[in-house]
Amino acid sequence: MRKLFAIPSPFRRRFASMLLSMGMVYVAGCSQDNATPRPVGGAGGGGSSSGGAQGSGGASATGGSRTGGATSGTGGGAIGGNAGGGSGGAAGGASGASTGGGGTAGRATGGEGGADTGGGDPNAIYVAPEGDDSNPGSFGRPVRTLAKARDLVQPKTGSMAADLLVYLRAGTYPVASTVTFSIADAGKNGHYVKYLAYPGEHPLITGGQPITGWRVSDASKNIYAVTGMTKPFRQLYVNGVKAIRARSPNLGTNGEPAFTKCKGSSGNAFQVASSDVSDWKNLTKVEMHLMVLWADNLMRIASITTAGTTANIKIQSPEDMIFARPNPAFFPSQMRFYFENAYEFLDQPGEWYLDETANTLYYKPRPGEDMGTVSVVAPMVETLVSVKGTSTSDQAGYLWFQRLTFAHSTYMRPSQYGYLDAQAGQYNITAPGNNQQTVGRPAAGVSVTNANHIHFERNLFAQMAATGLDFISGTHDDMIVGNAFTDIGGSGIAIGKFVVDEKTEYHVVYNPTDKSDVCTRDTIKNNFVDHVTTEIQGANGISAGYPAYLDLEHNEISHINYSGISVGYGWNTATNAMTNNKINFNNVHHVCEILADCGSIYTLSNQGPASEMQNNHCHDFQPSPWADYGINNLYMDEGTDGFTVAHNVLVNVKADDQVHQNRNGSHMTITDNGPTPTGATSTIMSAGIEPAYADIKTLKIPPAAF
């Protein structure tokens, strides 16, 4: 351990000011990690004891960077009772520059007897895993939970004259149920309530619970088990890596998709080879995952009967409606499938199985995993955080979330009702033979409804079961800028209603009288959406239902099983809620990795006037070997109208059409798209994430420590 030296207290302030002038910070205390001078994110207030000016919070309302990093504060906190050298970085930096962490400061845990030892911003609220919800939420005496910090905000918002800051220190914040932010928790008078990672630290908000107490269950197969598992779940993460729910056939050597071909169907049963099935224990918990055209279908098995070389599989209700559903149809599908969730499938390292009858979890460790020390997390909460106003006229607003990690959400509907994907990850509620279908919306790890001026910046959304971030309805003037979305089961981002409601047939256009119900003037910009749609394969990188004035620009979308970007629903040229949507300067690649009938950018229905699809760079993908038929690059499907489609660079894509129109309206302008449109070099350089946010591609989920 490095030997530390003490500086007599009369000289500490002078010494701190001297270091600050050299771009360093002195942090008092005895922790090795906090005792040495470190560079700071930006110049403070000339080295004064009060630190630098308060940071502006990063990106502006238009997605550009402000000068928060340059005004980041500096200074030290206190550990074990020694006061820091000033009120410090807390006042200046967490919402600072787009690439820096702002000022730095030491960890404060209060002094003996719980005394508040100073430091930090006296007007801010602090949260730390070692805090206590009976504390006042000061720098030295932080609260412990996000919910308590929210409650402390409420009495402060009535007369807001500046932004109110809530800092989350490094560590893990488990949520046992959804933390909801309502009107009472919102900013007022045009000022934000900002929930920020403390400068240089990486808090994790998790809906997971740790799984411990592993023992050897079958030494010959290297299978371990934990008993007492009374709550079901569908995902498991081991040492920060997603484990594989036991399946057949197994994934490829490097995790590539793998399927078996269905023989067909007869009546209300699927037909497969007899060799593909067995007398599996807990048969009604076994699932059949079937890929059909542009949709994936998860169905719980009811029974299996065999006759010679053919096995007939009957499906539970309500998902047996698939046999009546005319679209997406079985023909011309190859009907590729895999089975999941049986103990008998547990034959590869990294696979797991939960026996809900015996309340026992089984896992076959990967090489190098020590089950005595391994970290295992099971998601238990479907929505970690919800921002929700009372109605379209009584909205929550002015809430800001920055540099936080949201992780470990579950989604249990497939275990309860199956999951038939109609399109864009929306699940069938009904699917009669006349194609008059109704659909529902999957849950999201973080959701926003009836809210305005909500700002998500530089956050990481990861290891979620369904949608990552969902702006459902009734939103306007919101910013989703510079976030990373990865390892997510459904769409990374969703926005806008896809149907009028769950009882209205899905071809009926959404065009409400109350225009404030429409997601309007929202911005999705400079986000990195990668390796999503891992469980709802028919979802998209970014899915938009019926938004208006949507600014969807400068995002990078990659490794998606269906379309990269999808905007619109309804298959209809009739006037609806959509207008003036801008899909420009996006970098879309490696999409359509499993399903058919998709594209880099896919649209439906009338979005006129003045919608745009311009200067996108769409490249490097091809049809999956599992796809039932072809794909397209830019794909304007049924009812699309009101677009100018121009100057898009389309290269290295094996598609039926680079620009495909299917039953479009009469107000379409399509020109200058292909491998070398006007300004191609400039478009390639400009499309995707802008330089100020390039670092978000390196964000990693912090280790969970419960």
Instruction: Write down the pLDDT at residue 403.
Output: 98
Instruction: Write down the pLDDT at residue 42.
Output: 33
Alpha-carbon gap, residue 369 to 169, rounded angstroms: 29
pLDDT tens for each residue of 156-165: 998 899 999 9
Mean pLDDT of 675-689: 98
Please answer whether residues 583 and 612 qualify as being in contact, where contact means their C-beta atoms are separated by less than 8 angstroms.
Answer: yes
Instruction: Write down the pLDDT at residue 401.
Output: 99
pLDDT at 692 over 50: yes
Mean pLDDT of 436-456: 98
pLDDT at 561 over 90: yes
Which pLDDT band holds residue 509 (cuts at 50, 70, 90)?
A: very high
- Going by their DSSP bridges, the two strands 193-197 and 484-488 should be labelled as unpaired
**23: number of Cβ within 10 Å:** 14
Classify residue 554 as exposed, middle or buried by CB count within 10 Å of its CB (0-12, 13-18, 19+): buried
pLDDT tens for each residue of 593-652: 999 999 999 999 999 999 999 999 999 999 999 999 999 999 999 999 999 999 999 999
Among 458, 402, 454, 465, smallest CA distance to 206 is for 465
Residue with tokens 């071909």: 261
Phi, psi of 311 (to 5 degrees): -115, 135
CA distances from 540 to 257, 421, 544, 545 (A): 17, 12, 9, 12
Among 246, 244, 273, smallest CA distance to 260 is for 273
| Helices H / strands E in the chain, number of each | 5, 53
pLDDT tens for each residue of 241-254: 999 999 999 999 89
Instruction: Write down the pLDDT at residue 40.
Output: 29
pLDDT tens for each residue of 17-59: 333 333 333 333 333 333 333 332 333 333 333 333 333 333 3
Please answer whether residues 400 and 57 qualify as being in contact, where contact means their C-beta atoms are separated by less than 8 angstroms.
Answer: yes
Tokens (6 digits) for 207: 């809906």
Alpha-carbon gap, residue 547 to 473, rounded angstroms: 9
Residue with tokens 């929202």: 522
pLDDT at 65 over 50: no
Mean pLDDT of 202-231: 98
| DSSP 3-state of 634 | strand
Which pLDDT band holds residue 560 (cuts at 50, 70, 90)?
A: very high
Please answer whether residues 146 and 171 qualify as being in contact, where contact means their C-beta atoms are separated by less than 8 angstroms.
Answer: no
Which pLDDT band holds residue 453 (cuts at 50, 70, 90)?
A: very high
Q: Please, what is the average pLDDT of the chain?
A: 87
Instruction: Write down the pLDDT at residue 332.
Output: 81
Question: Going along 489-640, which residue ranges are E strands?
Answer: 493-495, 523-525, 528-532, 542-544, 551-553, 556-558, 565-567, 582-584, 587-589, 601-603, 606-614, 617-621, 632-636
Among 127, 130, 121, 206, smallest CA distance to 164 is for 121
Mean pLDDT of 579-583: 98
| DSSP 3-state of 618 | strand
Classify residue 357 as exposed, middle or buried by CB count within 10 Å of its CB (0-12, 13-18, 19+): exposed
**Which is more confidently placed, 364 or 102?**
364
Least confident of 78-82, 473-477, 697-701: 78-82
Alpha-carbon gap, residue 461 to 209, rounded angstroms: 17
**531: number of Cβ within 10 Å:** 18
Mean pLDDT of 277-297: 97
Alpha-carbon gap, residue 294 to 536, rounded angstroms: 11
Single-letter code of the amino acid located at 130: E
pLDDT tens for each residue of 324-366: 999 999 888 899 999 999 999 999 999 999 999 999 999 999 9
Alpha-carbon gap, residue 597 to 167, rounded angstroms: 45
Instruction: Write down the pLDDT at residue 232.
Output: 98
The per-residue b/e assignment along 335-345, b for 16 or more CB within 10 angstroms, e otherwise, is: bbbbbbbbbeb
Residue with tokens 């292909």: 674
Tokens (6 digits) for 637: 């499907």
Please answer whether residues 547 and 474 qualify as being in contact, where contact means their C-beta atoms are separated by less than 8 angstroms.
Answer: no
Instruction: Write down the pLDDT at residue 117.
Output: 52
Mean pLDDT of 46-74: 34
pLDDT at 83 over 80: no
pLDDT at 552 over 70: yes
Alpha-carbon gap, residue 421 to 62, rounded angstroms: 35
Instruction: Write down the pLDDT at residue 331.
Output: 82
Least confident of 107-121, 289-303, 688-702: 107-121
| pTM across the whole model | 0.86
Q: 441-698, which class in CATH?
A: mainly beta
Instruction: Write down the pLDDT at residue 59.
Output: 36
Domain range summary for the chain, segments of one domain joined by +: 209-377, 441-698
Instruction: Write down the pLDDT at residue 63.
Output: 37
Mean pLDDT of 439-453: 98
Instruction: Write down the pLDDT at residue 119.
Output: 79
